[in-house]
Structure 1
Amino acid sequence: MASSSASPASPASPASPASAVSARLPEFPWDRLEPYKAAAAAHGDGIVDLSVGTPVDPVPELIRQALADAADSPGYPTVWGTAALRDAVTGWCERRLGAAGLAHRNVLPLVGSKEFVAWLPTQLGLGPGDRVAYPRLAYPTYEVGARLARAEPVVYDDPTELDPRGLRLLWLNSPSNPTGRVLDAALLARTVAWAREHGVLLVADECYLELGWETEPVSVLRPDVCGGSYEGVVAVHSLSKRSNLAGYRAAFAVGDEAVLGELLHIRKHGGMMVPAPVQAATVAALGDDAHVARQRERYAARRAALRTALEGRGFRIEHSEASLYLWATRDEPCWDTVGDLSKLGVLVAPGDFYGEAGEQFVRVAFTATDERVAAAVRRLES
């Protein structure tokens, strides 16, 4: 006898629009790490999670105060943000990055940088037949953004050796996630010139720019890189790392006014608004360099301790001259390394999350607390 209750659709049923979209995407990588996370959590002294670079230190008081002072914000914020926010962004870019001649029309506030990376190809109108290029070892969301738009994802070692046919968007990432590699001014300038020659929009993910350790990272907005013009160039910045504001979703894009103006128009229709209190907090964060220097000191100490302990355990550290990670290898499959370290209660990210070229590396974040980093060091040295 047939049941009167509704039953779920069978596998043979037509896919829903939502499932059709998700089918374009790779497996969410962090789900594969769960068994190792459980193993690490079973350690008697608890897990030391160095897999995700999420801030753990307090939000600076002046930023929290700015957020609280702006809490009575009953009206809708604008997508373009307040004039004070745009002033803070242009001022910071000129002071910190060496950019010149920026105006409000060169600025676009973002609801965190990840949404921008994921949705930029779609908002640019890219689709089948278009190509999106990003580094061979890279933040997975570059590929996700291309696939969401039905564009073709393409990896590169040297962007100027790409076939420019159909190439609409070129991602740079310096300092790199996951490797911490920094591209110098000459290489950046050569890539900007190549992209302009072939009519390719160049977008530089510079979210780790204030976290250089062995070299000083350079922005594509610097005049000797972009030639004093922002045509065809956009830089993306985030306050998540430098100001511990990952929970605030505070970021911005700066560069080509024609590109950002078009995106602003689209994002107005989509309601992609940074909350007014977060805008006020961003103004405070960009106006203060002291808290950034203090946070750098914390990270520098954690980085040094973990690097020494990893090298003492037989790891080789490659690149890692900037960012919040150590790119480490023992010349073995990355999942073997993840499994071995999980037995010590230490969780790291397998390098193949970031591309096949990372299959013998692990990414080790130094964003845990001082106490947890010290625990990891003791275990690595045991």
Structure 2
Amino acid sequence: MALQPLPDYPWDAMAPFAQRARAHPGGIADLSIGSPVDATPAVVRDALSAATDAHAYPTTAGTPALREAIVAWFERRRGVTGLGVDNVLPSIGSKELVALLPFMIGLGAGDVIVHPKAAYPTYAIGAALCGADAVASDDPAEWPETTKLIWLNSPGNPDGRVLDVPFLRAAVARARELGAVIINDECYAELGWSGEWEASPIPSILDPRVTAGDSDKILAIYSLSKQSNMAGYRAAFAAGCATTIGRLLNVRKHAGLMLPGPLQAAMVAALADDVHVAEQKERYRVRRNILVPALEEAGFRIDSSEAGLYLWATEGRDAWASIDRLAGLGILAGPGYFYGEFYPEHVRLSLTATDERIATAAERLREAAA
């Protein structure tokens, strides 16, 4: 099987806009890539420090303590019951899992992988790496008969859209008709903002209301990068169908894909502590409440964005024109073109900037609107 040609890394195209934004007299307000800027909580760093005598090889499946912590977290935070340690698996961040999972479950030429229309690019990259075909669709009725893997993303990146229980139930029903694996990428699930998602947990695809107790060919993926500022730790996990988890585990054992032991200990600490998660959410809430009205005053409309780390915005013209306008204000965002062909007039702005840079960006937007 010949590897499909991969596209250039999209963010390389942002170099001239980044240069222009950096030239602003007040410096750049970088709201482009969603890399956390806040400190990793002490409870996590202390656990990492205490586990540094890591002389033995770590286990690919995860320590018993980590697997039990993942199971307990799903029940406590996501309302998912019925999981056991054989239903969960840690990964080296979620991006490598998204990219490599189609290969790991044996997909290839002639198979179809469905992903959202507004989509993080790695879903399509994973299809390219195994020679499968990627199809962008948000309508289960339109998913092709040759579909073998369906990616959902709720809350969505870039658009912050939340999929409710009825939609997830319909998506699972269609996946079962197709005999396809269905996976929800849920890494922003602790960051709900609007409507019912402010007060109620964002539904997991493993929620009993969705699965009716049957998780066959269903997985959820979660990352601690956002809730716990652990992007540099590469700490994530999958949960759900024991058969699919077993397949992933076997491939990862052969490939030596294992999370370092100290990081596994740090994950246990992060998963057991809800206080730091609430504190981090509040930081993002404050930044969001500053940035949203400033964008609206500057002529942008915020679409979806009811959860997650991003604002999905448009001023009704080509995204590159908006990116250029923002760069002139010293603000760097991401164009909708990076997330598929369906949103050429949208830009994505991240809340992962310091309080001072968010306030600076808001001030510049208001001055431009005056």
The runs of at least 4 aligned residues of structure 1 exceeding 2 Å deviation read none
Q: Helix, strand or coil for the counterpart of 2:182?
A: strand
Match of 2:207 in 1: 222
Within the candidate set 167, 175, 179, 1:199 is matched to: 179
- What per-residue deviation string (whole Å, max 9, x for no partner) do you get for residues 78-135 of structure 1? 1001000001000000111111111111001100000000001111111111110001
When Rg is computed on C-alpha atoms for both structures, the one with the higher figure is: 1
Paired letter, 1:253: A
Q: Helix, strand or coil for the counterpart of 1:202?
A: strand
- What per-residue deviation string (whole Å, max 9, x for no partner) do you get for residues 123-172 of structure 1? 111111111000111000000000000001111031232122x2110001
Within the candidate set 62, 67, 70, 2:48 is matched to: 67
Tell me if 1:143 matches 2:128. Answer: no
Q: Helix, strand or coil for the counterpart of 2:169?
A: helix
Match of 1:89 in 2: 70
Alignment of 1:1-382 (within 5 A): 21=3, 24-164=5-145, 166-214=146-194, 215-216=196-197, 217-382=202-367
Cα distance in 2, alignment partners of residues 378 and 262 from structure 1: 51
The alpha-carbon deviation at position 197 of structure 1 amounts to 2.0
Cα distance in 2, alignment partners of residues 212 and 196 from structure 1: 29
Cα distance in 1, alignment partners of residues 234 and 343 from structure 2: 28
Percent identity reads: 52
Q: Give the conservation status (yes or no) of the 8 Å contact 2:112–2:144.
A: no
Which sits farther off after the overlay, 154-163 or 299-308?
154-163
Paired letter, 1:66: A
Unaligned runs of 5+ in 2: none
Cα distance in 1, alignment partners of residues 53 and 23 from structure 2: 44
Cα distance in 2, alignment partners of residues 270 and 163 from structure 1: 32
Paired letter, 2:79: G
Q: Give the conservation status (yes or no) of the 8 Å contact 2:89–2:239.
A: yes
The alpha-carbon deviation at position 193 of structure 1 amounts to 1.3
Paired letter, 1:366: L
